[in-house]
């Protein structure tokens, strides 16, 4: 079946009780049992909920995974995956990763004896030199947030698997519509469903997709034991969102390309970070690994003063954190999404005070470009 067919139908079987075409919101904390030890597959809502189960089947199918688990946030999903490692284990973390992921490693996991080192995962030599005898995982974002660096997933997975190391990929920026990491050897895929999967800026959630049955059983145990589950209502919202994922991602991609080209030609923009531009250092890799380039664009204005002028000068675009909604969001990574990253590290990675990130929405492209044009001056 095609992607849109899977998105609309996987997990979305008509309700057995009423025939409802849309999966109902099972807003309940517990379930009546017929007798001791006899129930209909549901005992307690932290452990199972029909709405959440439908969503888990849906996104797992979209990622080409056998197992899927929905969490209360993207960070909760990442934290659950990292419970596959224990004190004394080592993780290779992409050096240009989301600030929240970096904060989880540096401020939380480090306190529990989990070692990590930063590496440019787009550089295979850098990855290879980062392996230690106790390395258990490589955590990759591709494209990275916000510099849009692309990692060769097949190459990194091959390198990792030759050493018995598993690979985790955060696929939030592209969604399974434009990139399916498991097809390139990645073991575990994580998402912030808050972003493109939901797509309407009205729900916070996370997801884990994988094929290994033993790891899946542990993730299931963690999900139930810790309890950072996605609510029935949020599950319903994301399930509604995935039905239109294909048409939305095509619109984001079309507008993203147009905005990137506009910015690349603008005299007040020093550099544009977008894998869809031929000038991007991993453009050819992105063409092979991705079926599109998406709606995330970053650009360098040259100074905090100029960045502030743009950020506070837009009228249609909304200044705010997050991404992946139908509306265009504009943000300042150095003081917003990546404020937890040390300044020296930010500068080395290119996350300067003059850098702006845009989550290009699906408004009429002429209106988006007109707004950016007047803000740039």
84 three-class SS: helix
Of the candidates 89, 170, 234, 353, the residue annotated as catalytic is: 170
Four-point Cα dihedral 341, 343, 348, 349, nearest 10: 40
345 three-class SS: helix
Does 195 qualify as catalytic in the annotation?
yes
Q: How far is CA 174 from the centre of its chain?
A: 7
Of the candidates 98, 177, 184, 274, the residue annotated as catalytic is: 98
How far is the CA of 366 from the CAs of 252, 316, 374, in angstroms? Answer: 14, 11, 12
Question: Which residues lie across from 71 on neighbouring strands?
Answer: 206, 229
Of the candidates 46, 83, 254, 309, the residue annotated as catalytic is: 46
Does 26 qualify as catalytic in the annotation?
no
14 three-class SS: coil
Q: Closest Cα to residue 209, out of 183, 231, 243, 228? A: 183
Of the candidates 52, 166, 195, 257, the residue annotated as catalytic is: 195
Does 98 qualify as catalytic in the annotation?
yes
| Exposed / middle / buried, residue 13 (Cβ in 10 Å: 0-12, 13-18, 19+) | exposed
Which ranges of 39-151 would DSSP assign to H, the alpha helix? 50-63, 74-81, 99-103, 124-130
DSSP assignment, residue 231? P
323 three-class SS: coil
Structure tokens, 170: 């955060």
CA angle, residues 316, 330, 148, in degrees to nearest 5: 140
C-alpha to C-alpha distance for 67 and 82, rounded to whole angstroms: 17
Catalytic residues: 46, 98, 170, 195
């Amino acid at each position: 079946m095609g992607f849109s067919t899977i998105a609309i139908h996987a997990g979305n079987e008509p309700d057995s009780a009423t025939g409802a075409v849309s999966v109902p919101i099972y807003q309940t904390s517990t379930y009546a049992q017929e007798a001791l030890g006899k129930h209909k597959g549901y005992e307690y809502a932290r452990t199972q909920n029909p709405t959440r189960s439908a969503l888990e089947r849906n996104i797992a199918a979209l990622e080409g995974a056998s197992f899927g688990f929905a969490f209360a946030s993207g960070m909760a999903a990442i934290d659950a995956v990292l419970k596959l490692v224990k004190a004394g284990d080592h993780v290779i973390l992409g050096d240009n990763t989301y600030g929240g992921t970096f904060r989880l490693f540096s401020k939380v996991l480090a306190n529990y004896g989990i070692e990590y080192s930063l590496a440019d995962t787009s550089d295979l030599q850098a990855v290879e030199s980062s392996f230690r005898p106790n390395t258990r995982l490589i955590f990759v974002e591709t494209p990275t947030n916000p510099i849009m660096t692309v990692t060769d997933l097949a190459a990194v997975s091959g390198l990792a698997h030759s050493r018995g190391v598993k690979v985790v990929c955060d696929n939030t920026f592209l969604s399974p519509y434009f990139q399916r990491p498991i097809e390139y050897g990645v073991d575990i895929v994580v998402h912030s469903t808050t972003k493109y999967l939901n797509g309407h800026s009205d729900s916070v959630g996370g997801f884990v997709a994988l094929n290994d049955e033993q790891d899946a059983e542990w993730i299931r145990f963690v999900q139930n034991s810790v309890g950072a589950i996605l609510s029935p209502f949020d599950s319903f919202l994301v399930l509604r969102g995935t039905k239109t994922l294909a048409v939305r991602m095509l619109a984001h991609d079309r507008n993203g390309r147009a905005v990137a080209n506009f910015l690349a030609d603008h005299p007040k923009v020093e550099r544009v970070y977008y894998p869809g531009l031929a000038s991007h250092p991993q453009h050819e890799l992105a063409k092979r690994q991705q079926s599109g380039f998406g709606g995330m664009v970053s650009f360098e204005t040259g100074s905090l003063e100029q960045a502030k002028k743009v950020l506070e000068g837009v009228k249609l675009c909304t200044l705010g954190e997050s991404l992946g909604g139908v509306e265009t969001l504009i943000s300042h990574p150095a003081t917003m999404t990546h404020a937890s990253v040390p300044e020296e590290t930010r500068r080395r990675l290119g996350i300067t005070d003059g850098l702006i990130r845009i989550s290009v929405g699906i408004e009429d492209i002429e209106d988006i470009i007109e707004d950016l044009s007047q803000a740039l001056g």
